[in-house]
Chain A
Amino acid sequence: MSTLSDLPKESFRLSMLINDTRYRSLTFQVIAAIVLALCIWYLGNNLIQNLRAAGLNISYNFLGDPAGYDINQRLVEYDSQSSHARAALVGVLNTLLVAFLACVTATVFGVIAGVLRLSKNWLVSKLMMIYVEIFRNIPVLIWIIIIFTIMTAVLPGPRAFRGDNATSSMLFDAFAFTNRGIYTPGPYFETGIFANAALNWLLVLAVLVASFFGARKINAWATAKQEATGIRPNTRAMILGVWLIPFVLLMLIMGLAWEVPELKGFNFSGGLKIGGPLIALWFALSIYTGAFIAENVRAGIQAISKGQTEAAAALGLRQGRIMNLVILPQALRVIIPPLISQYLNITKNSSLAIAVGYADITATLGGITLNQTGRAIECVLLLMLFYLTASLLISMAMNVYNSSVKLKER
C-alpha cells in the first residue's frame, strides 16, 4: 500500500489534452470552434469576393420597388404597381391559404381512409390499402402535375358554355367547372355593418370564435353540474343555439346574399373563382398527405389494446361511448403528434406551387421577384426565414399539445 505516496505529481502534459477525460471534451470543443470559425470565415470571404466581382451588395431596398407583375390568385389588394414586399405578402397569404385548406381536407381523407382500412369489409379495407400504397409511393410533384393536367386539359373552356347548343352546362346553374378554374357562387353582404368587406368577414369570424368559447362554457357548466348532482343536463339544444342563433342573426342583419357566376363575353364573371393551380395543389396535397395520415390513424387505433374495449364494454358502456370516452382519448395521444408533423409537411410541400404557377411565397418572392431583381441571396434568405418561422410555430404548438396530453403519472 505504499503506492499512495508514489503517486506521480500532478503535472500537465500535452498528451493529457487528448487522453485525459477532464480536458478531452474541452480540446474537442476548441477544435470544433476553430473549424467552425474557419469555415464561416472561408465562406464569408468567398461571398464577399464574389459579390464584389459581380458588383453586387446585400440590400433589402428592392422590397420597396414596384413589382411590375400581376398575381391572379390573391387575398389582399394587389396590382402590378405594388411593391415586391406586397407581392411577398400576397404569397405568404396564399401559402397559408393552401396549407390550411389542404390540412383540413387531408385530415378528412386520412381519417376516413384510416378507419375504413380497419373495416371488417374485406373489399373496402383492400381498396383503402391500395389507395394508401399508390399515393404514398408516387412523388407528390407528379400528383400535382396530374391533377393540374386534369384541370387544364380535360375540363372545357368557358366558350364551351356559350351559345344555344353549348357542349357544357353549369352544375345547378351555379357552379362552372372550366379550364380556367372553378366558379362558384360567392357570398357578399348587402347591408354590411362596416363599409369594408374584409371587416365584415372579420366580424363573422369573431362571432364564430365567441360561439366556440360559449359552447365550451356550457360544456364546463354541464360537467360541474354532473359532478355535483350526478346527472348531466342535456346540453345539445343549448350548444346548437349558441352556435346558430348569433350567426343567423348576424347574417340576417348584414343581408347575406350570393352572387352567381355568369358567362359574360369570353369568360365567367361574378361569384367566387378558385383558380386551377390552387385546386391542383390543394387536392394533390390532400390526397397525398391523406394517405400518410391514414396510416397514422390506423396505427393509433391499433395501438389501443383490445382489452380496453372489452373493459369498457364490461363496465356497461354503449358502443358510441366506448369510442368517445375510452378509445379515442387514448388513440388521439398516439395520432396527433405525427398528424401535426404531417401538417408541417403540407406547409413545406405547398412550396411546390411553383411547379403549377400558384402564386405562393416561393413563386412570388423566390420565383418572379428573384428573377426580376437578381437579389438571389436576399430572396432565398427571406424565403427560408418565413418557412423556418412557420415550422417553429407549428412545432411549438405540437410541444404544447404533447405536454398537455402527457400521461399524468403519480
Chain B
Amino acid sequence: MSDQTTNSVAYVAETMLPELPPPARETGVIKWLRQNLFSNFANSILTLVSLWAIYVLLSNTLPWILNGVWTTSSLNECREVLDNKVGACFSVLTERWHQLLYGFKYPIDAYWRPNFALVLLLVAAAPVLFFDLPRKMLAFTAVYPFIAFWLIWGGTIMTPIVAFIGFAAGAAIFQIYGKKSFAIGFFGAIGAALVVWIVGGALIPEGASDSAWLSAVPSRDLGGFMLNLMLGVTCVSLSLPLGIALALGRQSDMPLIKWICVVFIEFVRGVPLITLLFVASVMLSYFFPPESTVDLFLRVVIMITMFSSAYIAEVIRGGLAALPKGQYEAADSLGLDYPQAMRLIILPQALKISIPGIVNVAVGLFKDTTLVSVISMFDLVGMIRGPVLASTEWNGVYWELLGFAAVLFFVVCYGISQYSQWLERRLATDHR
C-alpha cells in the first residue's frame, strides 16, 4: 500500500482542501429571496406588483405624515404653514384630543376620574385575564364596578355602596343556603339583594349628590372613545353570565325554558344591532313605567347586552356540544346534581373550548359600539362626524380624524385578539 502511494501516483493531496462557500445563489439573503420571492415567473410578477403597490402607498402617505403640522389652531393656519406642500394637519388631534377621548361635555377638571378608572380596570381585569396572578386580586375585581361607577358618574358615594351591599348580601345568602339547595340559595340571594336595594335606596337622602365630593356627571355628558370603551367593557361583562345562562337554557330538557331561550337567541341574532339601538332610542321608553326616566346610556347598555349575550350563548352552545357525552354521564354517576355538574365538570371544559369564539364576539361588539353614533350619541365616531368636523376651525380635516379613530380601534382589537391566541396556547392542556 505504501509503495503505491509513494511511487505509482504522481501527486496526492496531503491536506484537506478548505471548504468552499456554497454558491452565492444558495445562501443567505439571495437564497431566501430566490425561494420566497422569485421562485418562478408568476411569483416574480406577484412580488414586483406587490412592491409597486407598497411603493405607491408609501409614496403617497409618508410625505403626508412626515410633513404633518401639530401646533396650529385651525385648518386655515395649517394650510398657511404647509404652504401648498402635501401634509397632514395633526393639530386637530393636539387641539381636540380631549373631545375625541372624553366627549365635549365631560368636565375638564374631572378627566382624572375616567383615567383613574381605566388604570384600575387594568388592575381589575388582570387576575381574570392572567391566571398566574394571585387569586386574592379577584376581590378587587369584585368591587371594581362600584368604584368605576362612582369615579365616572360621581355623585354620592352612597349609591355604589348600597348597590355593593345588596350584591354582598345576595352572595352571603347564596353561600349559606346554596350548598344545600341551589334553587333556594339562588332565589334567596335575589330576594336579599332586592330588599337591601329598596331599603338602602330609601335611606339615601334627596340631593345627596349635590354636595358630594365628586361632582355628579349625567350620562348624556359621557362621550368620545371613553364611551366606546365603557359600552364595550360593560356589555361584554354583563353578557357573559347571561350568555352562559341562555346556552344552558337552550340545552335544557325543559321544553318551555328551551323554547324561551331559542326564540330569544334566534330573534336577536336575526336583526341588525342598529334596529336594536332604534328600539333603545325610540321604543324602549314605552315599556318602562310611565313616570320613570331611564337614561339613554342605560337603555343602550340593555339592548347591546341582549345582543351580545345571544351571540355568546351560541358560541358557548358550540362548546357544550363539543364535549363528549361521557362527561355528562360521568358527572351523573358521581352523584353530582345539575348545578354542581355544570359548575365543576361541564362549564370549565366548555368555556375553555369557547374562549376564541367569545373573544371574537367581544372584539366584534367593541367595534359595534361605534354604531351608537347613529342614534346621536357622541362616541368617538359621533364626535368626529358631529362637533369636530362641524366646527369652523376643523371643517374638512377628514383623514387625520378618521385615521386616529382607526388606529385607536386597531390597537385595542388587535391587542385583544393577540391575547386570545396566547390564551389558547396557554390552555392547550391536551397533548398533541
Contact = CB atoms under 8 A, between A and B. Distances in A.
Contacts of A407: none
B367 A46 contact: no
Interface stretch (B113-121, B209-217, B281-289): B281-289
B404 to A, nearest CB: 10
B272 A121 contact: no
B51 interface: yes
A351 B275 CA distance: 8
Contact of A127 (B39, B50, B417): B50
Given A18-B181, A120-B36, A391 B270 contact: yes
A137 interface: yes
Given A121-B36, A138-B409, A384 B50 contact: no
A377 B184 CA distance: 39
A377 B256 contact: no
Contacts of B367: 137-140
Interface stretch (A142-150, A259-267, A398-406): A142-150
Contacts of B47: 121, 123-124
Nearest to A49: B290
A349 interface: yes
B282 A145 contact: no
A366 B37 contact: no
A47 interface: yes
Interface string B29-64: 000000011010001001100110110000000000
A258 interface: no
A210 B368 CA distance: 43
Contacts, number: 154
Interface in B261-295: 266-267, 269-275, 278-279, 282-283, 285-290
Given A376-B282, A384-B275, A387-B270, A139 B368 contact: yes
A387 B256 contact: no
A380 B51 contact: no
Most chain A CB neighbours (cut-off 10 Å) among B256, B363, B373, B385: B256
B283 A46 contact: no
A46 B275 contact: no
A253 interface: no
Interface string B224-240: 00000000000000000
Contacts of A146: 402, 406
A44 to B, nearest CB: 9
Nearest to A348: B272
Interface in A349-384: 349, 351-352, 354-355, 362, 366, 370, 376-377, 380, 383-384
Most chain B CB neighbours (cut-off 10 Å) among A43, A138, A348, A383: A138
Contacts of A137: 363, 367, 409-410, 413-414, 417
A134 B385 CA distance: 22
B390 interface: no
Identify whether the interface residues of B are mostly helix, strand, loop, or mixed.
Answer: helix
Nearest to A394: B270
Contacts of A391: 269-271
A227 B182 CA distance: 65
Contact of B409 (A124, A142, A349, A366): A142
Contacts of A32: 254, 256-257, 260
Contact of B256 (A19, A29, A46, A366): A29
A28 B254 contact: yes
Contacts of B256: 29, 32-33
A133 interface: yes
A141 interface: yes
A203 interface: no
Contact of A362 (B274, B285, B373): B274
A388 B286 contact: no
B409 A47 contact: no
B371 interface: yes
Nearest to A381: B283
B183 interface: yes
A119 B47 CA distance: 11
Given A138-B413, A388-B270, A25 B278 contact: no
Interface string B384-411: 0100000000001011001001100110
B374 interface: yes
A370 B374 CA distance: 14
Nearest to B267: A388
Contacts of B266: 392
Contacts of B290: 46, 49-50, 53
B274 A149 contact: no
A49 B36 CA distance: 71
Contacts of A122: 36-37
Contacts of A332: none
Most chain A CB neighbours (cut-off 10 Å) among B275, B381, B410: B275
Contact of A383 (B46, B53, B257, B278): B278
A238 interface: no
Contacts of A388: 267, 270-271
A75 interface: no
Contact of B402 (A149, A351, A355): A149
A396 to B, nearest CB: 12
B241 interface: no
Contacts of A138: 367, 406, 409-410, 413
A161 B183 CA distance: 75
A366 B278 contact: yes
Nearest to A350: B272
Most chain B CB neighbours (cut-off 10 Å) among A18, A153, A348: A348
B402 A29 contact: no
A69 B291 CA distance: 35
A380 B381 CA distance: 24
Nearest to A389: B270
B254 A362 contact: no
5 contacts: A29-B257, A142-B409, A348-B271, A383-B271, A391-B269
Interface of A: 18-19, 25, 28-29, 32-33, 36, 43, 46-47, 49-51, 53, 116, 119-124, 127, 133-134, 136-142, 145-146, 149, 153, 348-349, 351-352, 354-355, 362, 366, 370, 376-377, 380, 383-384, 387-388, 391-392
**Nearest 8 interchain pairs by C-beta:** A122-B36, A391-B270, A137-B413, A348-B272, A139-B367, A376-B282, A351-B272, A388-B270
